[in-house]
Chains A and B, each alone.
Chain A
Amino acid sequence: DAKTTQPPSMDCAEGRAANLPCNHSTISGNEYVYWYRQIHSQGPQYIIHGLKNNETNEMASLIITEDRKSSTLILPHATLRDTAVYYCIVRSGSRLTFGEGTQLTVNP
């Protein structure tokens, strides 16, 4: 699976959009981009995934660049409950390899 690079931490004001970047420059054509988050020591929670088109669901939006070498997860109106570690993962098979992720802190 391709390696991903994320900033170690980010801050966001409550009610504002949180934009979390991820670089995956070695991604191959059949690899999907997945985003998960982990709140404290709970089990990671699936957020969204995509191949090459932008995706949106009730939790977030995923913007993938045309060359697929990077993506951005957007939480449109961050709340205090969105404080978590966010993982960007590139997946081609059944294995899911987690990196260090981004600690997002939403401030009141």
Chain B
Amino acid sequence: EAQVTQNPRYLITVTGKKLTVTCSQNMNHEYMSWYRQDPGLGLRQIYYSMNVEVTDKGDVPEGYKVSRKEKRNFPLILESPSPNQTSLYFCASSQDRRNYGYTFGSGTRLTVV
């Protein structure tokens, strides 16, 4: 089944403890992206990647890192999480720049205490 898989689905962590949220897609998509969703602020893009080894900042990149060493994986790294990074995170992938829809993962609900 074609899908975007995020792990974990739920995570509670403490301030400053490095964590990684994994994202993997099995559709051979070039484009991948991370979003966070917060009440009243909607979905905001954190980082995106147009292909292997090509990443760029979205609208809210501060406090996050990403890597794209292989096509299928696009992990989101929080080096030193803070409570304001408590959010619902979504990974998404797409085959083409403009003429293809993004497929989203099921989300990761992160709580930083």
Which of A45, A87, A92, A101 lies in contact with B98, CB distance below 8 A? A92
B31, A94: Cβ atoms closer than 8 Å: yes
A30 to B59, CA, bound (A): 22
Question: B101 to chain A: which residues have CB within 8 Å?
Answer: 34, 36, 46, 49
Interface flag for B73 (CB, 8 Å): no
Query: Interface 1/0s, chain A 80-108, versus B by CB < 8 A?
Result: 00000001000111111111110000000
Count A-B contacts at CB 8 Å. Answer: 59
Binary A-proximity of B86-97 (CB < 8 A = 1, otherwise 0): 001010101001
A44–B104 CB distance below 8 A: yes
Q: Is the CB of A93 within 8 A of B33?
A: no
Closest CB of chain A to B41's CB: distance in Å?
Answer: 9
Given the interface pairs A43-B107, A46-B101, the reply to whether A100 lies near B42 with Cβ below 8 Å is: yes
The smallest C-beta distance from B42 to any residue of chain A, in angstroms, reads: 5
Total residues of chain B contacting the partner, CB 8 A:
28
Main secondary structure of the interface of A (DSSP, over half): loop
Task: Specify which chain B residues have a CB less than 8 angstroms from the CB of A100 in the assembled complex.
Answer: 42
> Which residues of chain B have C-beta atoms less than 8 A from A49's C-beta?
99, 101
Chain A positions 49-92 with a Cβ under 8 Å from a chain B Cβ: 49, 87, 91-92
CA distance A10 to B45 in the complex (A): 26
Whether the Cβ atoms of A96 and B105 lie closer than 8 Å is: no
- CB A48 to nearest CB in B, in angstroms, measures 8
Q: Is B43 touching A95 in the complex (CB atoms < 8 A)?
A: no
Within 8 A of B (CB), among A1-60: 30-32, 34, 36, 41-46, 49
* Interface residues of A, Cβ cutoff 8 Å to B: 30-32, 34, 36, 41-46, 49, 87, 91-101
Binding site for A on B (CB under 8 A): 4, 31, 33, 35, 37, 42-45, 48, 50, 58-59, 88, 90, 92, 94, 97-99, 101-107, 109
A-B contacts, 27 listed (Cβ < 8 Å): A32-B99, A36-B101, A36-B102, A41-B37, A41-B88, A42-B106, A42-B107, A43-B4, A43-B105, A44-B102, A44-B104, A45-B104, A46-B101, A46-B102, A49-B101, A91-B98, A93-B97, A94-B33, A94-B48, A94-B50, A94-B97, A95-B33, A95-B45, A97-B59, A98-B43, A100-B42, A101-B42
